Chain A
Amino acid sequence: MFDQANTLPAAPGVGYKPQHYSDILNDAGPVRWLEIHAENYMGDGGRPIAQLRFLADRFPISVHGVGLSIGGEGPLDPSHLARLKYLCDWLDPASFSEHLAWSTHDSAFLNDLLPLPYTAATLARVCDHIDQVQELLGRRMLLENPSSYLAFAESTYDEPEFLAEVSKRTGCGLLLDVNNIFVSATNLNYDPRAYVDAFALDQVGEIHLGGHDEDEDDHGAPLLIDSHGSEVADLVWTLLDYVLDRSGPRPTLIEWDTDVPDWATLAGEATRAETALEKVPA
């Protein structure tokens, strides 16, 4: 449908942090590709753009948007779309992805990925927005499953069904965040493997892994928070194996956005992903 398909290698990548710039150029270890947050590279110039240009000559880059508000009730912000197109045009990334979430309302940007009810109305709106993005960028995008802390009484689809339908209607691919599955399944009390079984794994162009925090809700039930501030939990690695057994190897990213560790620690997580990827036949 679109010329620009996802060309990330089915190998480990990491979320790029500027403090790792020299380490990555010196020895990237098992890391074969890098992911950036689109919005951090929408300035006019300076060090962020210079570093990105340099890295993009050496690594496939995945552009991961955190501000498009695909699930927003209002129209997509035309100036933000234009900035995104400018970035994707000059960078020509190996992949572009965004979230099944909303973050902008009435011009206010809330700087978080906020949840959506899975209804026919949401489905129509999300598909319209994805059509608009893919038309504008001239490339197939990936849509990521969110981490959930609550449910909407009005939802009529379950999440894998909803995402499969978005992919079917728009032709977009999916980004499967395995930590998000684990967090949501714990918080909403369902079986994460059943979620994987129901997921359109053939549409998955990228996998995300990250750390989470543990808390409790008002009733003492576990409430996991998707914090990207620690190592990937052992049970999430186990769930990754379950996914890869069914999907085959996929580009697999370690996200670590707060309390960012030194490069050796992050590369160690990427090595663990590499081991998991090498266990499954291509």
Chain B
Amino acid sequence: MTQTDFSQAIFDPARPVPDRLTDAADRPAGKRFSVYRNNVTVSLKEALETGFPATARLLGEANFDAVAKGYLRAHPPQSPLMMLFGDGFAEYIAAIPALKSLGYLPDVARVEYAMRQSYHAADAAPLDPAKLAGLTPEALNRARLSFAPAVRLVLSDWPVHAIRQKALEPNAPNPPGSAQPVLITRPQYDPDLQPLSPDQAALIAALMSGMPLSRAMTEVPKADLGAVLTLLLAQSALTDIDVEDPK
């Protein structure tokens, strides 16, 4: 018996218990093997439940159990760092035909995974607002922003911020009818979620891609740059501002 046989039987309950595993009286291990099967399945399912609490609520217990088990068998963790487990859970959900009616669900999962990555991201000193305030309008136009490693932007056509909130707190307001992308920042140690308008999200995406401010404004003329900069500063989302032309 190899570890290949053992791990295949762990992930596929339809497979028989591998040979030559016994109890103390040399009888086949039977249920004793199920302890390992159960430990692996339950611990991975619980890791998903901890990492995707709103997704789990929206699916309900029985559906989440089936989806989570399907995912962990098809895509077992590829790293011993459980903080990374679930990368791809959103795409897995999106590909399940029976869940097509819950079109927002993959985006809720994306927000939850992004929050976890934000939580574990590197620390960084925030930009001193005086550095921004001291720039001439001309310098500001060609400035590029550096974002903190903990910042994540989740684009969505759904009111994903409110849907997530409502899933976790039933008394939260009902989701609006409009799209609500999410900005995730980490002012100190806890990820903080800000709902955005699609224009604000598009502007932040342009700035995160390294575009100078003037070009980002040209790309997304409807967004209010001042309001977005105020939000980014207040959330400690920026680490630096660079007015030099890239070499």
Which A residues fall within an 8 A CB radius of B?
A: 39-40, 42-50, 66-69, 72-73, 77, 80, 83, 102-112, 114-115, 117, 149-154, 187-190, 215, 217-219, 221, 223, 225
Contact = CB atoms under 8 A, between A and B. Distances in A.
Given A42-B83, A110-B10, A225-B35, 4 more contacts: A43-B81, A46-B123, A110-B76, A150-B29
B220 to A, nearest CB: 30
Interface string B109-121: 0000000000111
A215 B30 CA distance: 14
Interface string B144-161: 000001100000000000
Contacts of A187: 23-24, 32
A80, A103, A114: residue with the most chain B Cβ atoms closer than 10 Å? A114
Interface string B80-94: 111100000000000
B136 to A, nearest CB: 34
A149 B80 contact: no
A153 B26 contact: yes
Contact of B120 (A45, A106, A109, A150): A45
A43 B150 CA distance: 12
Interface of B: 1-4, 6-7, 10, 20-27, 29-33, 35-36, 39-40, 43-44, 47, 76-83, 119-123, 149-150, 186, 189-190
Contacts of B23: 150-151, 187-189, 217, 219, 221
Contact of A150 (B32, B43, B150): B32
B42 to A, nearest CB: 10
Contacts of A108: 7, 76-78
Contacts of A154: 1, 20
A125 to B, nearest CB: 11
A77 B24 CA distance: 34
A189 B25 CA distance: 9
A109 B77 contact: yes
A48 B120 contact: yes
B186 A218 contact: no
A150 B189 contact: no
B235 to A, nearest CB: 15
